Every structure is written in structure tokens, then in C-alpha cells.
Amino acid sequence: MRARIHSIATYLVYAGLLALIIGLGLYLVTRQFNTVVEVLLGLGLVLIGLFIVARPEQVKQALTGRTARYGGSATLMSVTLIGILVLVNFLGNRHHKRFDLTASKEYSLSPQTIQILAELKEPVDITAFFTASYYYRQEADDLITEYLYHTNKLNYRVIDPELQPGVARQYGITRDGTMLFQQGDRRQEVYYPDEKSITTAILKVTQAETKTIYFITGHKEHDPEGTGQGSYSTVRQALLDENYQVSTLNLATITDTVPVDAAALIVAAPQIPFSDKEAETLRAYLDGGGKVMFLTDPTLPNVLGNDYLAKWGFRLRDDMVVDPVNAFFGDYLTPLVSRYPYSTITKDLGGLSSFFPVARSIEPMAELPDGAITNRLIETGQNSWGETDLQNRQLSNDKSADAQGPLVLGISAERTDSGGRLVVFGDSDFAANEVLNTVSGALGNKDLFLNAVNWLTEEEILISISSKPADVRQITPLTGIQQRLILYSSIGIMPLVVIVAGAWVWWNRR
Amino acid sequence: MRNALAIARRELQAYFVSPIAYVVTAAFLLVSGYLFAAILLLSQEATLRYLFGNLTTILLFVAPLLTMRLLAEEQRSGTLELLLTSPVQDWEVVLGKWLASLGLFAGIMLLTGYYPLILWRYGNPDWGPVLTGYGGVLLLGGTLLALGTLTSALTSNQIVAAVLGVGLSVLTWLIDALSQFTGPPVSGVFDYLALSTHFYDFLRGIVDTKDVVYYASVIVVTLFLATRVLETRRWR
């Protein structure tokens, strides 16, 4: 028996190895440790065991021979080195440094973002819902890579909603490219991967208390909860998306002060004058360091009063702005603005135009009262004027009576003594549904409104982050001759140099 | 180390009289020159980013052609025994050969310096990404040359060495595709192992120390394995 086994031992070991390979292969493919796999693996081990029993001297030689000793030591050395390098790479991956050598620091995050990331205490989960064809996928990944470099408090994962529709449904995601930021039960969605949106989202989901914005009601103001053309439900939704709470407030119901949780009040074009008491409540709130946005239109009551506004460094004129040059689709009464004076609120609106249907102008005072700082937000063109003769149907620039352009349509002001902040717009329709919903979203109206609210509620760290455009450097336009010169010389010169050098060497060695 | 440099010098001289080196260099420059001009004229952008992105694919096939002779030819002609029995360490032989191929490759990349000159003449390129692009190409090239040195140690046939080198390079380049079929953390390992994933930041103008550590590690492991393979001749 033993002799028989001895003579076929070589075949046994091959059969055994074959059984092991097939068994392992089956397991790798099916990922199931079923009977067939077990039998094959068992059989392989038994056959190899038989070989060992049958030819112990051969096994012994293979294990202790010269080859085994040298081979073993070579393997051991290799495994040791690879182990060390795996460790080095593991540590190198954890503690790495990145150097952005682009001239514009194109891929570096702003100091504000880095600071926010450094102050993160609890982890934030970022779930990106990207299909394979999502256009900004790479951009988003690259940007998140920079965020992950600065903190280990972010957990980033990507879900393909086409491959895992259940997960997308579970999170209520319907739009490709949505990035969902979550901490605890706070969530914030981002639809375009730029630094400002992502940092805003991180800040919003990590802030414990949400800020409440109150819209004043009771005087036929724009209604944030209505759905009509003139109502403010679109900006209300935008505020909710930015994690603000939005509520309404009737000043007449207030016995003492404005609610303490008010981050800002919005007075959206009251058509009926405030009672003295209401106006007094509003002014007292501002003087106590409150934040107010006041939007109004031509002929509507100036509920704060020019005497009071003078304290902030400007007045409202009783006029109607006419701009025959920068007019929205030829409507002289709808000035269009695409260049903004520099201010915290407008500095990232460059290139986004906004327009203001039927507006009145604001007169900044030449001499600012003590403690007031103002910033112009919107200015109309040189050729505009403030029509004061509102009875006459014929528009005419009466240079003696009418204010001459550029005219200020929006202004921000703050009092250094109380810390109060006030934003006034000479137009209220620019943020109404009819404008925001009917005209393409690329316009700056909504951003202007939101930036102003962010400024009022002191989310300044968010306002000051601007997205960096890609640094594309065009070459000067080339003439036909230059194009051909570049083409032929790039292709020809260097290979020719090499071939001539080769031929020369060959000639000399011949 | 001095021995390694001496071997490198000798091997570089051998390259200078080798027709294959001239042909490979000329062909590579022809293709890269064509790519450079075509990309520049189409994109009108003063950048080498897209050129480097395309060159990597070509490098996968060119690098093994530069290294195929290194150790295979010595084995075929029997001169390897002379080298190994001389008072030179095995690792010095491997390192010297690899350094020679790296020197040749650096020379080839020096000749591509004509392209940034054109960019400078007709535009205002951002030099940061140009610099990191060259750095990345040298690191990636060094890694591919190391892989080629390893396959050249495995066989005495140059063609076999080249084909094995291409196969090994392409596999290592593309291994991150496997991460599609596995979940974390295994997918992260495959992503990390791939040559390609570590090249991306260099293209954009970013130097990340972890990419440098990765390429250096692959070079060290590969040259170490090549040395072990040579060593087997002593006891096989």
C-alpha cells in the first residue's frame, strides 16, 4: 500500500493542489462556504497530507535544503521590508502635508473655512448623491479632499442614486448632485459644490440655535406666507434653506419689546403708516442694537422717518428712479444693475445682474453723523434720475428738481455705539415671487436679499468667503504662420535632434 | 553607493551607443510633440496639464522599453555572473542600472522643455503646475522604470522583459478599478495602491507628501525585489 502511494505521490500532490485551487476559486466567485468548497479544500489537504506521509524525505529536503533556506530568508526580508513600508505609507497617509503651488492658490481653502473646520467639535456627515454622469463630480471630490485635509471631523461618502435608489429615497433626495450635511437631527442640502456653500452648510448644521427672522405684518406688507405674485414666499423658503426660522410679528401686539430671539426684523414695504407707538417700538429696537431690513417703494410711507434715518447717515427721497440706459428690457422704471459698489453684502455678486421694478432713491448724507458707518449696495447708471413730478405722465429729467444719477437704491448702515444694523432698499418688488420665480435664477436679486440678511444676522464669516474661479490662462491669439510654426517645430525639432545625434554616434563608431 | 554610480555611468554610456535608446527617445518625442501642439492649438490654454495627463499613458509603454535590456541582456550574454562575482553588491548593480534609466528618462524630459518655452513665448503660464507636473512625471517615470528593472531581472529575454513590464505597469496603473467591486475599507486600499490616483494632484499644481511617499515606497520595494531575484542565481 505504502509503496503504491509512494509511486503515485507526485500525481497526488498535483491533484491536491488542483483541488485546493478550484475550491478557493469557487469560494472567491460565489463567496459561499458551501459543501462543494469544503469537500474540495478537504480533499486537497488530504491528498497533500498523503504526499507528505509517502515521501517524507522529499518534504524534509524541500523545507530544510539550501533553496529553502535562502528562499526563506529572501522571503522573510521582503515581507519585513514591505511591512515597514506599509506602515510608513499608513502614517504618511495620515500625517501628510499638501502644498498648493498654483499662483492663485486655486485649490486652497479660505482662512475662514480653515478656522471653522479647526473649531469643529462633533463630526459632520456629508452624503453626496452623485450619479456617474454628474458633471461636477470631480470638482466636488477635489473640494472635499481639501476639507478632509484640514479636519478629521467630516465623514464623506458618495451614493449613486441610480445604483442605490433606496438610500436616496430614505434621505428624500430627488436631485442629482445633492450634498447632504448632517449633524444630529440638523440637515442642510447643497446643490453646487463650491467652498462658500459647503462651509455655510457645515456651519449651519453645527450651530446649536437657529436664528429667527421676523417679518412685520399688519400694514399690507409683502406676505412671507402667501403664494401670490407679490408675496415673499420664495425668499422665505430661501431663508428656511439657510436654516433660519421665519416667523411673523405684528408690532401692535407688542407691549414691551421685540421678541428676544429675533435675529432680524424685515419690514417689507408697509402700505399703511405705522402708528406712533409701532414706529417708536421699531426705532427703540434699532437703537438697542437691533437689526432691521426696511424695504419700501415710491409713494409708500417711510415708517422710520427721514429725521430718524439721518441718524444712520442717509435719507429716503420722494421720487421714482428712471434709468433710460440700464433698463430691464427697455422698461425705464426698472433699473438694471450688474456692477455693485464694494461692500460685504455685494462683493460676491459680481457679474450677477439684479433689477428693481419701480424704485425710489436713497440720499446718503455728505457728512456722516458720529458713530454711523454706511455702505452703498446698489447704484444706478450715470444717465438715471429721480423723477419727482409723479403726477405728470411724461417722464422728463428736470435737473433743477430731480436727483441725478448714479442713484443709490440700497444701503447698509451700522451704529458703532449700539451695534445696530440697518439695511434699506428703495424697492421691495425685487425680492417678491413675481420677480424671483419668473426670471431665470442666475440673477442676483435673491443672493442680494440673502446676503443682506446674513450681514444683518452677523454671519459675516460666511459672506466673506468667495468662490475662486478656475485660473485659465489663454495664449495670445495665434496667426496661421505661428500655428504652423508651433505644430511643425514641436513635432519635428526634438526627434530630429535625437536622430541626428544617433546617426552621428553610429557614424563615428562604424 | 560609489559602485552604483559607476555602474550607472557605464550603463548610461551603453545607452548612448544603443540604437534602441535613440529610436525610443525619438518616437516618444514625436508623439509628445504632436500631443503638445494639438492640445495647445485646440485649447488655446498656456498649460501642460493636459499634455502630462496624456503622456502618462504613453509612459506605461515606453518605460519598459528603456529598461528591458538592463538585466536581461546581462543574463543572456552571461556577463551577469561576472558582475555578481565582482566586489559589487547585488543591490548596487540594480540601483546603478535603474539610476541609468532614470538619467536617460530625465534627459528625454529635458528635451520636452521646448514646450514650456513656447507657452512662455505666446502666453503667461502658471509655473507652479508646470513644475509639479514635471516633478510628478519624474516620480511616476522612476516608478515605472523600477517596475521595468524588476521584470528585466526576471528573464534573459528582452522582449519578454518589456512585455512583462508593460503588463505590470498597466495593472498597477489601473488597479483602482477594483475598488468599484469592493466596499470600504478594501476599496480604499485598491485606490491607494494604484499608480494613477497619486498622479492627479501633481497635474493640478499640488504636491502632497503622501503621493511622494507612495512613489518612493514602490520604487524601494520594486528595486529590493529585483535584488532578491538576482540573488536567487546564487542558490537556485
Give the residue extent of every domain in chain A: 2-93, 111-204, 210-463
CB pairs under 8 A between A and B: 157
Are the beta carbons of A78 and B45 separated by less than 8 Å? no
Query: Which listed CATH number (3.10.20.30, 3.90.110.10, 3.40.50.880, 1.10.10.10) goes with A210-463?
Result: 3.40.50.880
- With contacts defined as CB-CB under 8 Å, which chain B residues touch A498? 22, 25-26, 29, 111
Residue to mutate among A157, A486, A510, with most B CBs inside 10 A, is A486
Q: Which helix H or strand E contains B158, and what residues bound it?
A: helix B158-174
Nearest Cα residue to A363 out of A414, A294, A306, A308: A306
3-state DSSP call for residue A203? Answer: helix
CA A461/CA A335 separation, integer angstroms? 31
Tens of pLDDT, residue by residue over B37-81, are 999 999 888 899 999 999 999 999 999 999 998 888 888 888 888
Identify any residues that bridge with A470 across adjacent strands, giving them in sequence order: none
Class of domain A111-204: alpha beta
Identity at A88, one-letter amino acid code: V
In degrees and rounded to multiples of 5, residue A95 shows phi and psi of: -110, 70
* Dihedral in degrees, nearest 10, Cα atoms B138, B143, B149, B152: -110
For every one of its 510 residues, what pLDDT tens digit does chain A have, with 9 covering 90 and above? 667 767 777 788 888 888 888 888 888 887 777 888 888 888 888 888 888 887 777 777 777 777 777 777 888 888 888 889 989 988 888 888 999 998 888 888 888 888 888 888 889 999 999 988 888 888 888 899 999 999 888 999 888 888 888 888 888 887 788 899 988 888 888 877 888 788 888 887 887 677 899 999 888 898 888 888 888 988 898 888 777 889 998 887 876 778 888 889 999 999 999 888 888 889 999 998 889 999 999 989 998 989 999 999 999 999 999 988 887 877 888 888 888 888 878 866 767 788 898 899 999 998 888 889 899 999 998 888 888 887 777 777 888 888 887 899 999 998 888 888 999 999 999 888 888 887 665 478 888 898 899 888 865 566 556 666 777 888 888 888 989 999 999 999 999 999 999 999 888 887
Q: Which helix H or strand E contains A214, and what residues bound it?
A: strand A212-217
CA A411/CA A448 separation, integer angstroms? 12
Label residue A138 exposed, middle or buried (CB < 10 Å: 0-12, 13-18, 19+): exposed
Kindly report the length of chain B: 236
Count of CB atoms situated within 10 Å of the CB of A55: 18
Work out whether the CA dihedral A142, A147, A152, A154 comes out positive or negative: negative
Beta strand A421-425 with A291-295: parallel, antiparallel or unpaired? parallel
Residue spans per domain, chain B: 2-235
Q: Are B150 and A78 in contact (CB under 8 A)?
A: no
Q: Are A186 and A204 in contact (CB under 8 A)?
A: yes
Label residue B135 exposed, middle or buried (CB < 10 Å: 0-12, 13-18, 19+): middle
Q: How many CA atoms lie within 13 A of A73 on its CB side?
A: 9
Nearest Cα residue to B142 out of B88, B187, B202, B195: B195
Kindly report the length of chain A: 510
CA B232/CA A233 separation, integer angstroms? 79
Nearest Cα residue to A212 out of A456, A439, A29, A481: A456
Tell me, what DSSP letter sits at residue B181? Answer: G
Q: Are B104 and B229 in contact (CB under 8 A)?
A: no
Choose among A98, A490, A494: nearest Cβ to B208.
A98
Whether residue A272 lies within 8 A of chain B, CB to CB, comes out as no
What ipTM score was computed for the predicted complex, to two decimals?
0.85
